[in-house]
Amino acid sequence: MEFDQIITAEQAKSYKPSFKNFRLAIERIDLPLEQILHVAASVYHDIVTAKSLGLSTVWVNRRAVQKGFNTTGSAISQPNLEVPDLKTLAALSSAK
């Protein structure tokens, strides 16, 4: 598999949830925000920042099946979609 872009924290000179990481990725991807989907396992480190920049988001909530386990913490942002694993996301995307 080939990736169009690989963006590291070293290149961005910051760590998530810094906006610098996301802005660098958006700049390099060079597509309208409406065409970028950010898929992540962390609401705090990814979803909150990505949503605030106008990106659509998918939260891969691998711990959803664990009762009493709250992985969102005090995050104030909700993803556009929540899935339990990447297999589910792949099935949803191929169904369209």
Domains of the chain, earliest start first: 9-94 (3.40.50.1000)
Does the pLDDT of residue 75 top 80, yes or no? no
Q: Which of 43, 45, 42 is nearest to 22 (CA)?
A: 45
Q: Which long-range contacts (CB under 8 A, 24 or more apart) does 51-54 make?
A: 51/77, 51/78, 51/79, 52/77, 53/19, 53/22, 53/23, 53/26
Q: Which of 32, 28, 34, 9 is nearest to 20 (CA)?
A: 9
Does the pLDDT of residue 67 top 80, yes or no? no
Q: Which carries the bigger pLDDT value, residue 68 or residue 53?
A: 53
> At 90, which amino acid appears?
A
**Per the omega criterion (within 30 degrees of 0), is the bond before 17 cis?**
yes
